[in-house]
């Protein structure tokens, strides 16, 4: 199993730029699902971390409070090589302990209360602010133009290279585990590898659907009979007729399969493609994932003397900023490409 290139809908010439995942050039701010009540039995902390995974940060707080990590709620995982903010929850009885909390990579930005703990998925999306380097004035304009086109027509919602580890080695490890050729005892690693397996097949399915759309010379995602759609409220449906009008107005979006049990599967023409990337024997619960997402609130600021363009935008939860940048550039990136060269003068 080898990860194939992620293909994109817009046929653009390569726009050459560089970006680096580090605390200065890659900033992520979590957007909560709704407002916190300001009262309740749970303490909500707005925290900033630098060069730490979310799990690393949770481990720091768990050790500081002398509680199991499972007692700390969080909505999503944030990039390690970045400056990120997010919300976590603990029981309110620990509030006074945070008055003396200090850590060189973690900062508490604010505190409030809520009626229940934060659960995985309790976020609306993330806002990104990313510096693109080696950009001339002409390409700065082209980048903004293409970004806005993608926001209008939709971004293929691939899992980014971060999902699969360095050299995509976790894909083969996941396949061996699913086939019973590799025994994994650690529950967290086992769960991660199952998600890698599901993500790999989703990406391959989406790649074929993007190719199909390009073969039909369409800059938009081509819909098929039997596709399963997700509405704005998260409900799934398989309409008898292709809902072209609802799709055009962004009321519904086609979905792809994260294979497993107890999940709706496509029918008719859509099923012919989807079945190639399915594993009905996988015991993990399956899901549907949006095939497209729509970046919003795009803002570009060019700094001529640094040949740097700062691009900021919002993406729905579970979507990858690096996938958006790949779509703009018309190329794939890897972890090696975005690692900052320490000799580079900034």
Catalytic positions, written as ranges: 79
| Residue listed under structure tokens 């229940």 | 116
| Residue listed under structure tokens 């008055």 | 99
CA distances from 331 to 8, 80, 151, 152, 327 (A): 9, 23, 18, 20, 7
d(CA 27, CA 79): 9
Of 120, 128, 141, give the one whose Cα is nearest residue 322.
Answer: 128
d(CA 82, CA 105): 11
d(CA 46, CA 50): 14
d(CA 41, CA 264): 37
8 A C-beta contact, residue 127 and residue 31: yes
Of 257, 250, 311, 309, give the one whose Cα is nearest residue 282.
Answer: 257
């Amino acid at each position: 199993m080898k990860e194939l290139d992620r293909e994109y809908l817009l046929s653009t010439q390569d726009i050459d730029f560089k970006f680096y995942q580090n605390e200065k050039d890659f900033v992520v701010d979590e957007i909560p699902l709704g407002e916190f009540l300001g009262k309740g039995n749970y303490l909500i902390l707005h925290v900033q971390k630098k060069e730490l995974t979310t799990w690393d940060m949770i481990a720091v707080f768990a050790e500081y409070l002398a509680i199991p990590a499972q007692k700390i709620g969080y909505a999503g995982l944030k990039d390690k090589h970045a400056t990120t903010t997010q919300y976590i929850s603990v029981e309110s009885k620990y509030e006074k302990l945070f008055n003396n909390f200090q850590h060189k990579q973690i900062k508490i930005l604010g505190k409030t209360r809520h009626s229940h703990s934060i659960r995985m998925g309790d976020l609306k999306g993330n806002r990104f602010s990313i510096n693109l380097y080696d950009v001339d004035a002409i390409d700065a304009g082209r980048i903004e133009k293409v970004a806005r086109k993608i926001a209008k027509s939709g971004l293929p919602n691939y899992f980014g290279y971060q999902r699969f580890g360095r050299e995509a080695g976790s894909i083969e490890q996941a396949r061996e585990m699913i086939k019973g050729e590799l025994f994994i005892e650690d529950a967290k690693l086992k769960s991660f590898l199952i998600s890698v397996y599901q993500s790999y097949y989703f990406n391959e399915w989406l790649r074929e659907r993007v190719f199909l759309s390009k073969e039909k010379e369409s800059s938009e995602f081509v819909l098929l009979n039997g596709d399963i759609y997700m509405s704005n409220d998260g409900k799934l449906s398989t309409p008898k007729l292709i809902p072209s009008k609802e799709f055009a107005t962004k009321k519904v979006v086609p979905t792809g399969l994260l294979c497993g049990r107890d999940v709706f599967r496509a029918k008719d023409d859509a099923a012919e493609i989807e079945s190639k990337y399915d594993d009905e024997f996988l015991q993990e619960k399956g899901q549907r994932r949006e095939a497209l997402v729509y970046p919003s609130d795009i803002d570009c600021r060019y700094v001529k003397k640094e040949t740097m363009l700062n691009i900021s935008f919002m993406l729905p939860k579970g979507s990858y900023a690096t996938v958006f940048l790949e779509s703009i550039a018309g190329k794939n990136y890897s972890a090696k490409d975005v690692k900052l060269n320490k000799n580079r003068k900034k």
